[in-house]
Structure 1
Amino acid sequence: MPVYCITGTNRGIGLEFVRQLAQSPDNTIIAAIRSLSSDLTELKAAASASTHILECDTGNVTSIHAFVKSAAQILGENQKIDFLFNSAAVNLKSSQSSLNLGVDELHTQLSINVLGPAKTVELFLDAGLLSQNVRVLNMTSGLASLQLTAGGSGRKCAGYSISKVALNMLTVHQSDDLRKRLPGAVVIVLDPGWVKTRMGGAGAQSEVSDAVGDVLKVVHGLKDEDNGAFFHHTGEKIPW
C-alpha cells in the first residue's frame, strides 16, 4: 500500500493529485493544505477513506515541523512515504520584470517555492519517514529552463521563474545528498505544462486532469538513472 504525501492540495494540480490517487483504496494519501480554515469542500469530496488532510504552510518552517510531526503520528512505525510531491507554489505579480522586481514578492516566492521543498524533504528525512526508494517530485515550470528562456521570444513572470530556477538547482543537490542516506531514492523536477488552474488561467493549454495523469505516469515509471533529471509531463527531458 503506497504512501503519497502531497503539498498544496486545496486547489489546482495538488487537488487533482488527490482526486486521481484517491480512486485506489490501496493508496494512503497525506494531503497538505496551507490552512485548515480554508474551504475544504473540493478536497474532502476528492478524498478517500485513507486520505489524511493536514495543515502545512510551506513558507513557514515552524509549520513544516508541525506537519511532519502530525504525519509521523498518522504513519506510525510501519509506514513510510513512497512518493513526496512538492506541489505547493505561488506566482506573485507575474507582470513584474527583472527591472521592477518587488522585494516582498520575490522573498515570498523563494520562501514557498524553494525553501518549502528543501525543508520538507530535510525534515521528513530526519524523522525517518521516507522510504528507501522514495520518489521526490519537485514541481517546476518550463519558465525555469535557462536554455528555453534564452532562446524564446519573450520573458515572463520574472520572480516566479527565478524561484523555479533555484528549485531546479535544489533538486540537483537533493538528488545527490538524498542518495547518500537513501541509496534507492530518485529526485526529479518536472514541468506539468501550461495547465488550466487558477495560477495557469483560462487561456492555458492543458486540462488539469490530463496534466496530472501524465505526471503520474512519469513518476510511476522512474528508474534509478532518472535521478536528478528535469522532465516535461510528456516524459521528455527538458534542457536546463
Structure 2
Amino acid sequence: MPIYCITGANRGLGLEFVRQLAADPQNTIFATSRSTSADDISDLKAVSSPNTHVLQCDVADVDSIKSFVGAAGKVLGAKKIDFLLNNAGAHFKPEQTSLHMDPEAILQNVRVNVVGTAKVIQFFYEAGLLSEDVRILNMSSGLGSMERSAGYSPRICAPYSISKAGLNMLTVHLAEDLKAKLPGVVIIVMDPGWVKTRMGGEGAILEAEHSIGGMLKKLHGLKSEDNGKYFMHDGSEVPW
C-alpha cells in the first residue's frame, strides 16, 4: 500500500492528484489544505477515499508546516511516505515585470514556492518519515526555465518566475544532499503545463486530468538516473 503526501490538495492540480490516486483503494493519501473549514475542503472530501487523511498546512508558515508533519507522523506510526508531492504554490502579482516588481511580491512568492517546499522536505526528513526510496515531486513551471523564459514575450510574472527558478535550484541541491542520506531517493521538478485551473487563468489549454495523469505516469516510472532532473508533464525533459 503506497503512501502519498500532497500539499495544496483542496483545489486545482492538487485536487486532481487526489481524485486520481483515491481511485485506487490501496493508496493511502495525506492531503493538505491551508484551511480545513467545511467550505474549503468540500471538493477534496468529495473525491477522497476512506484512506485519505485531510490535514491543515499553510506552506507560507513554517510553524504550520512543522505542526502538519507532526500530525502526519502520528497517523503514520511506523510507516513512511513513499511519494511526496510538493504541489502547494502561490502566484502573487502576475502582472509585474522585472522593472516594476515590488520587494513584497518577490518575498511572498519565494516564501511559499521555495521556503515552504524546503521546509516540508526538511521536516519530513528530520522526523524520519521518508522512505529509503522516496519519490519527491516539486511543482515548478515553464516560467522557471531560464532558456524558455528567454523566448517569451512579453515577459510578465517576474516575481513568480524568480521563485520557480529558485525552486529548481533548491531541487538540484536536494538531489545531492538527500541522496547522501537516503540512497534510493529520486527528487525532480515538473512543469504541469498551462492547465485550466484558477491559477492557470484565462487562455490555459490543458485539462487538469491530462496533466496530472502524465505526471503520475512519470512519477511512478522514475529511475535513479532521473534524480535532480526537470520534466514536462508528458515526461519529456525541460531545459534549465
TM-score, normalised via structure 2 length: 0.98
**In structure 2, what residue type is equivalent to 1:183?**
P
SS at structure 1 position matched to 2:55: strand
**In structure 1, what residue type is equivalent to 2:64?**
S
**Alignment map for 1:110-121 (pairs within 5 Å):** 110-121=110-121
- Distance in 1 separating the partners of 2:190 and 2:55: 24
Post-superposition shift, 1:41? 1.0
1:2-21 deviation per Cα after TM superposition (whole angstroms, max 9, x unaligned): 00000001100001000000
Q: Which residue pairs with 2:86 in the alignment?
A: 86
Q: Which residue pairs with 1:239 in the alignment?
A: 239
Root mean square deviation, CA, Å: 0.9
**In structure 2, what residue type is equivalent to 1:138?**
N
- Distance in 1 separating the partners of 2:99 and 2:127: 42
Q: Which residue pairs with 1:76 in the alignment?
A: 77
Percent sequence identity over aligned pairs: 55
SS at structure 2 position matched to 1:183: coil
Q: Which residue pairs with 2:180 in the alignment?
A: 180
Post-superposition shift, 1:162? 0.4
- Distance in 2 separating the partners of 1:107 and 1:130: 29
**In structure 2, what residue type is equivalent to 1:53?**
V
- Distance in 2 separating the partners of 1:148 and 1:105: 22
Q: Which residue pairs with 2:47 in the alignment?
A: 46
- Distance in 1 separating the partners of 2:73 and 2:155: 42
- Distance in 2 separating the partners of 1:157 and 1:235: 25
4+ runs of 1 displaced by more than 4 Å?
none
- Distance in 1 separating the partners of 2:204 and 2:92: 17
Q: Which residue pairs with 1:21 in the alignment?
A: 21
Conservation of the 8 A alpha-carbon contact between 1:18 and 1:46: yes
- Distance in 1 separating the partners of 2:73 and 2:99: 44
Post-superposition shift, 1:148? 1.2
Unpaired runs of 5+ residues, structure 2, are none
TM-score, normalised via structure 1 length: 0.98
- Distance in 2 separating the partners of 1:35 and 1:103: 27
Aligned pair count reads: 239
- Distance in 2 separating the partners of 1:206 and 1:164: 20
- Distance in 2 separating the partners of 1:31 and 1:19: 11
**Alignment map for 1:168-207 (pairs within 5 Å):** 168-207=168-207
Conservation of the 8 A alpha-carbon contact between 2:80 and 2:130: yes
- Distance in 1 separating the partners of 2:40 and 2:94: 25
- Distance in 2 separating the partners of 1:102 and 1:156: 13
Post-superposition shift, 1:93? 1.2
SS at structure 2 position matched to 1:134: strand
Unpaired runs of 5+ residues, structure 1, are none
- Distance in 1 separating the partners of 2:63 and 2:164: 23
Post-superposition shift, 1:155? 1.2
1:37-61 deviation per Cα after TM superposition (whole angstroms, max 9, x unaligned): 2521100001000000000000111
SS at structure 2 position matched to 1:68: helix
Post-superposition shift, 1:102? 2.1
Please state if 1:220 is matched with 2:220: yes
Q: Which residue pairs with 2:32 in the alignment?
A: 32
